[in-house]
């Protein structure tokens, strides 16, 4: 019963973050969103075509940018450049302007947040049988196999 309210608050926070992430995911197919917060380093987040690209870079400028480009109204070259940069770099950590950036698709981020929301409700002293452990290991292996198969097919 210790920290009960804290566990509830954590689950609520992660649940709200899941809902907001789903909204941003759906929005990313029609708009390219840009957020850059300045200083040294510059923190940035770009969302488009089902991926989230975020990180930091050291820069002399002081941007405070919040913007959005509607992909249907954008010139064809701009939309294609954005799509090429975002979709070609899924699951990537890269160096940018003396900083780092990571690009992840939303379908990877959503289960991570959902698991974080559900984690406080898992009992701490659960006793598992060998059969339960084998079933869980098999399910993890199947999911990882599907991920590898889908990454090679695409």
Whether the bond into 140 is cis, omega within 30 of 0: no
Question: For residue range 4-59, what is the model confidence (pLDDT) as tens digits?
Answer: 888 889 889 988 988 999 998 888 888 888 888 877 778 888 888 888 888 887 76
Average pLDDT of the segment spanning 75-79: 61
Confidence of residue 138 (pLDDT cuts 50, 70, 90): very high
**What is the pLDDT at residue 114?**
87
Which pair of structure tokens corresponds to residue 80? 């294609």
Whether the predicted model's global pTM rises above the 0.75 cut: no
Residue 18 · residue 11 · CB < 8 Å: no
Q: Which of 33, 42, 40 is nearest to 106 (CA)?
A: 33
- Please answer whether residues 58 and 42 qualify as being in contact, where contact means their C-beta atoms are separated by less than 8 angstroms: yes
């Amino acid at each position: 019963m210790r920290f009960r309210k804290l566990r509830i608050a954590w689950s609520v926070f992660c649940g709200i973050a899941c809902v907001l992430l789903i909204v941003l995911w759906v929005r990313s197919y029609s708009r390219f969103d840009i957020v850059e917060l300045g200083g040294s380093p510059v923190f940035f987040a770009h969302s488009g075509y089902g991926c989230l690209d975020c990180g930091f870079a050291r820069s002399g400028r002081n941007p405070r940018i919040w913007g959005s480009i509607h992909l249907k109204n954008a010139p064809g070259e701009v939309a294609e450049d954005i799509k090429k940069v975002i979709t070609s770099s899924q699951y990537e950590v890269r160096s940018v302007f003396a900083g780092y950036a990571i690009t992840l698709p939303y379908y990877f981020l959503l289960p991570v947040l959902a698991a974080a929301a559900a984690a406080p409700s898992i009992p701490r002293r659960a006793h598992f049988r060998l059969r339960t452990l084998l079933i869980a290991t098999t399910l993890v292996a199947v999911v990882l196999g599907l991920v590898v198969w889908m990454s090679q097919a695409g």
